[in-house]
Amino acid sequence: MQSNSIAIIPARGGSKRIPKKNIKDFCGKPIIAYSIEAALTSKLFEEVIISTDDNVIAEVALKYGAKVPFKRSEKNADDYATTFDVLKEVLMEYKKIHQNFKYGCCIYPTAPFINTALLHEAFKKLTIQNFDTVFPVVQYAYPMWRSFKLEDDKITMWWPENLNKRSQDLEPSYHDAGQFYWFNIEKILQTESLYTQNSGAIVIDDFHAQDIDTLQDWQMAELKYKYLQQLHNNA
C-alpha cells in the first residue's frame, strides 16, 4: 500500500532536560527505534528519513533502517527552529534532486506508543476526507471549561459561568498527542503550518500517549508501555 509519501523524523541532538533523549533506552531499545520501525512496517512510505545534526543519532537511525541523506542545517538545529522549519528544509532538499512527494508524515522520535494501525487510520482520513493535515489527539480528563487561573495566590475561574454546570454537559476538549502529523505537502507549504483551518484528527486514549519532557514523564511512559504490553500478552 506504499503511497507517494515520505516519513520525516526530526531528531536533533543536545536535549537538555533528558540527556540523549532521542536515543535513550526505552524498554530495551533506543526510543527513536519505535518511530522508525512503525514507519517502515506500515509500508506507507517511499522514504523514511531522520533529520538530525547529531552523528550518534544518525548512526542509531541507520542501524534501525532509516535513511540520513543529509545533515540538518545549523540554522534549524537551535532551540528556536520550529517543526515546520525542519520539514520544509527536508522537502526543499528533495526538490533539489527532483524528488517530490504528495504526502508527508512528521513522526516524533519520542513516540513509543505509535503503531502502524494509527498511521494507516490517519492517512486514510487525510486522503479520503481531503484534509490538509491529520494528527492524533487525546481528550482532556477534566473539562477545561471549569479551569482556574492563579494570580498572586488568588484563584479565579476562567469561565465562571460554568461553575455549576455538570461536567457531562460541557463540550469535550482535546490536546495534541504529540506523536505524528500526516500532511498534504502542497497545503502545508502554502500555509506554513501543521495546523490549518482544514485539519482533522483521530482520537486516542490517554494510555496510548505520553508527553515526555522530564524524567518523571519518561518513567510514566515506560510504566504505561509495560502495562499495555502485559495486556497484549495476556489477551
- Cβ neighbours of residue 223 under 8 Å, at least 6 residues apart? none
- Please give the grid coordinates belonging to residue 227: 502495562
* Global pTM exceeds 0.85: yes
Q: Calculate ∠ Cα 121-207-146, nearest 5°.
A: 100
Strands 103-107 and 5-10: parallel
Question: In terms of DSSP H, where are the helices of 64-115?
Answer: 83-96
Distance of CA 167 to the CA centre of its chain: 29
d(CA 33, CA 111): 9
Q: How far is Cα 102 from Cα 56, in angstroms, rounded to an integer? A: 31
Strands 29-30 and 25-26, sheet pairing: antiparallel
Residue 131 contacts residue 200 (beta carbons within 8 Å): yes
Render each residue's pLDDT in the chain as its tens digit; 235 residues. Answer: 446 999 999 999 878 789 899 999 999 999 999 999 999 999 999 999 999 999 999 999 999 999 999 999 989 888 888 999 999 999 999 999 888 999 999 999 999 999 999 999 999 999 999 999 999 999 999 899 999 999 999 999 999 999 999 988 999 999 999 999 999 999 999 999 999 999 999 999 999 999 999 999 999 999 999 999 998 888 7
Say yes or no: domain 5-136+174-234 is CATH 2.60.40.1120.
Answer: no
**Residue ranges per structural domain of the chain:** 5-136+174-234
pLDDT at 176: 96
Q: Return the number of other C-beta atoms located less than 10 Å from residue 65's C-beta.
A: 13
Please give the pLDDT value at position 17: 84
Provide the pLDDT for residue 1: 45
Helix (H, G, I), strand (E, B) or coil at 125: helix
